[in-house]
Structure formats: structure tokens, C-alpha cells
Chain A
């Protein structure tokens, strides 16, 4: 097999990727910074699914590395953080989406990439963030019948015997 050494021919640099995203999404998505092999962006809840469709179809982003949640009770918000990788461009895009803390719902990207399936289930299990359109949004790591969302900041762990 031919050994590829780094970027595939026709691969885009992070600056090119940032420029294309800015061009396609003048509002709703802000590219915050660019680093070697990295692009950092923030997106609105409504623009997320369109952004993901765009990067999957036009920019060759084939692989979801990670989907995670963060709880910010002080700012009354929750965030979902996405890391999506492009093998062809050897670059990873980080997208941060803010959600209101009393109704944390966001579109699921599982229909696009199956790799996000269990990550979204785990984020629901731990934070209570609802992913609309997910095929099977159930508890995955905590036992069934757990009533709390353990990673929220108001759930306090501590020594119990």
C-alpha cells in the first residue's frame, strides 16, 4: 500500500477550512481561532445541524472524535462540545454550543455520524441534555432507574459507606 506522508493531496489547511466556514455561515457560527491541525468555533443551537451537514458533505469531515457536556450553573447555561476530525485534511474542528440550563435540548448529530451515538447517550445520562432525533436516548453508564444527573454541579459526591 502506498504510504501517505501527512496531508492528502487536495487537503485543506486549517486557515482554508476556517475561511470556508466563515463564508458559508456569516451568522450563527463564529470561528474563534486557528492552530496547526486545529480549528476552534462557536455555534448557535439552531445552526449546529446545518454546520455539521456542511462539513460532512463539502469539507470531508468523516469522524466524530468526541461529544461532551459542560455545566455552568453560575452562568445559567450548559454547553455541548463537539470535536470532529477530518482524515483527509488532518484537522480537527472544535464546536462549542451554548444551551439554556432549564431546557437543554440540541439536535442530535447521530444521523450523520454513527460515532456520536454513545457519546450523546452518555452526555444525556450525566447531564440531562436531550438530543432531539437520537435513536435511543437512554441511560448507558449509570444503573437504570437512576433519577439524578450525576455530573451536574448541584450533585455532590462524597464519602458514603
Chain B
């Protein structure tokens, strides 16, 4: 059988965003794979050199639009380290709550996309229905459904609205019941399990060496979570478990994210109880010191996000470098794809949870 290279993408129902996966196939089996990215490159890092520090916050939202609160929060953390200020306690707790709500929203979007990839439209519809509830909560808080522009350097934009605790508790109680439904829908479906178990194996050594982070790393059994091991915001005061699975396959990565959704509900409840009174925002300085550099990293829903910033003495940064978790995971995808069939590609790449906005920047 002759081997040939085929293009999966850039316009392909499997690709969440635009990228091209070139696979070398021998019949139906994949022998080599080469991802081609860059269809969404806008030179984000260069554009930030022409914007003032607060103007970069909505730009950071649009880095990974599936988890936009996480990226604008990461930028605010980095800028706060550069300007050497620390946001008030109440702001830290509010940030933790919305970050975990964003994590749940991002994982629900991932589950919906995984459903479409595997051809199961039901798995698309149910998580999208619950995600709308979380988007409603965010809309009550900051007015936007998706790109929130809510964290600020020195805190958050506004304090929580009335009935914040009541609304969150209602949604979380409703959501945890529904999460059990999704588990039943996927775990007890023979087809889902056949398509995801045993495919896309990624050994822990490969995962650590190739820079894979986040739920993809924890699905291979490596126990590392920046929220516990290098904490920021209110995470030092909150008790939670880090979810890992030992299977190393697509099914384990799926299970890690479902477990994370349960943990996030728990974290939100604790944070709401422990939230202190106080100001929600500090006024930051306009200019940053010249030649000073700072960096921060967070546990984004997709892995480890990191930003490195250098100040310029005036109100625009000199250099802002972004590390995207999915950029590295996509470079590691040939290891996960070799030896499997072409029909396994959607379930493997779907379990990786790609978001092209942060890959290409």
C-alpha cells in the first residue's frame, strides 16, 4: 500500500479553529503526523507594544476565547508583579471565584466540541445548555458573555452584584446534578468508551519532556497543578484535590476534566463563604519601571499559561511574551497520533482541548 500525506484542515469539521494536520497514512494507519499552525497569527505580542497597559486587558481576553477570564487575569497578575503592587483580599477571592466558573465554562465547551467530533450531537447540546447558565452568571457580574474585560491591574473592575451568593449556589446545585447525567451519557456509552479508551497514549515521561501541561499531563498520572504547587490569588486558603488519572489515554484526559469540574464547584463554594469585605480594586501606577522584567504563570483550563513582561519606563510595555499551553501540546501531538487510525484523530485531538487563538496568538 502506498504511503501518502493527506491534509486534515484548515477547513475541517474536526478542527476547533484553523490549523492543518498533515498525516502520512499507510492505508488507514497513521505513520507520521505534522501539525501546521499559523492561520490565526496576528502578531499579538507585537501589537501590545503599541497599547497602554489597561488597553491590553481586552486584547488578552481574545487570546484564548474559550477561557478568556483566565488570560486577562494572567496578564493582570504579570502587570501587578511588574508594577510591584498586590491586589486587595476581596479582589483575590472574587478572581478565584470567576476563574473557577470560567474553568467550568471552558470544560463544558470542550465537552460539547468533543461530542461534535465523535459525531454525537447529544453530547454537544447538553453541556451547551449548562454553559449558558454560567454565562448568565458572568453577565450579571460584568455584562459580557464571552470576552469579559473584567480583571484590572490592581483588582477587578466592579464588586459583585446583589444576590451573587444565591445565584451561584442555585446554579452549582443544579449543575452538579446535571454533571452526573453527562457522566452517565459518556461513561456508560459503549461507543464513547471504545472510541476513547486506549487511543492517544502519552506516557508520563513523554508528557513531561515534551512540555505538555494541565489536564493532559494529569491524565498521564503526573501530579502537578500550579494552583497547589505555586499558588496565586486566594488558592493558598482553599482546600481542594488535584485530579489525576493513570490511564494515559484519551478517556483518562476526559475523566480528569470531569473530576476538575466537580472540584471547581467545591472551590467556588468555599471561596464564597470565605470572601472578606473590603475594596475590590487598587489604583495602579500609570508607568512601569524601565528595564524591569516580571513573569507569572497560572493554571489555565488547558494547561500552564505564562506571561513575561519587560517595562519601558512609560505607559506601554517593551516586550510581552505569552506562553500558550496548547502551542506545546500540539507540537507533542505526533507522539499521540502515531500508530492509530485516521478515524481516531478527532477523538485524540478532541481530548487535548485545542484552542487556536492562543496557539497562534
Residue numbers of A with Cβ under 8 A of B are 1, 3-7, 37, 62-66, 68, 70-71, 81, 83, 85, 87, 90, 92, 94, 113-119, 122, 126, 139-143, 150-151, 157
Contact = CB atoms under 8 A, between A and B. Distances in A.
A68 B308 contact: yes
Interface of B: 37-38, 41, 43, 45-47, 50, 208-213, 221-224, 228-230, 241-242, 244, 246, 293, 295, 297, 304, 306, 308, 310, 318-319, 321, 323, 327-328, 330-332, 360-361
A67 to B, nearest CB: 9
Contacts of A66: 306, 308, 321, 323
A71 B310 CA distance: 11
Contacts of B321: 66, 68, 70, 81
B211 A116 contact: yes
A130 B2 CA distance: 37
B211 A113 contact: yes
Given A68-B323, A115-B332, A151-B45, 4 more contacts: A1-B244, A92-B230, A115-B331, A118-B331
Given A83-B306, A87-B224, A63 B213 contact: yes
Q: Which 4 A-B pairs have the closest CB atoms?
A: A115-B211, A68-B321, A66-B323, A118-B331
B342 to A, nearest CB: 24
Contacts of B246: 1
Contacts of B327: 118-119, 122
Nearest to A153: B49
A4 B222 CA distance: 11
26 contacts: A4-B223, A4-B242, A6-B229, A7-B229, A37-B229, A62-B208, A66-B306, A66-B323, A70-B310, A70-B321, A71-B319, A87-B208, A90-B229, A90-B230, A113-B211, A114-B332, A115-B210, A115-B211, A115-B331, A115-B332, A118-B327, A141-B37, A141-B41, A143-B38, A150-B43, A151-B45
A83 B308 contact: yes
B263 to A, nearest CB: 12
A116 B211 CA distance: 8
B120 to A, nearest CB: 30
Contact of B209 (A1, A92, A113, A119): A113
A64 B212 CA distance: 9
A81 B306 CA distance: 13
Contacts of B47: 157
B130 to A, nearest CB: 28
B158 to A, nearest CB: 31
Contacts of A143: 38
Contact of A6 (B46, B228, B328): B228
Nearest to A7: B229
A143 B20 CA distance: 13
Nearest to A69: B321
A65 B319 contact: no
B241 to A, nearest CB: 6
A142 B38 CA distance: 6
A7 B228 CA distance: 10
A140 B361 CA distance: 12
Contacts of A117: 331
Contacts of A94: 295
A137 B297 CA distance: 27
B55 to A, nearest CB: 15
A91 to B, nearest CB: 8
A126 to B, nearest CB: 8
Nearest to B205: A62
Contacts of B37: 140-141
Contacts of B331: 114-115, 117-118
Nearest to B36: A140
B230 A115 contact: no
B297 A114 contact: no
A65 B241 contact: no
A114 B308 contact: no
B131 to A, nearest CB: 29
Contacts of A126: 45
Contacts of B50: 157
Contacts of B318: 70
A117 B229 CA distance: 26
A78 to B, nearest CB: 11
A141 B45 CA distance: 13
A65 B210 CA distance: 10
A66 B361 CA distance: 15
Nearest to A125: B38
A122 B327 CA distance: 10
Contacts of A63: 208-209, 211, 213
B298 to A, nearest CB: 12
A1 B245 CA distance: 8
B202 to A, nearest CB: 12
Contacts of B293: 81
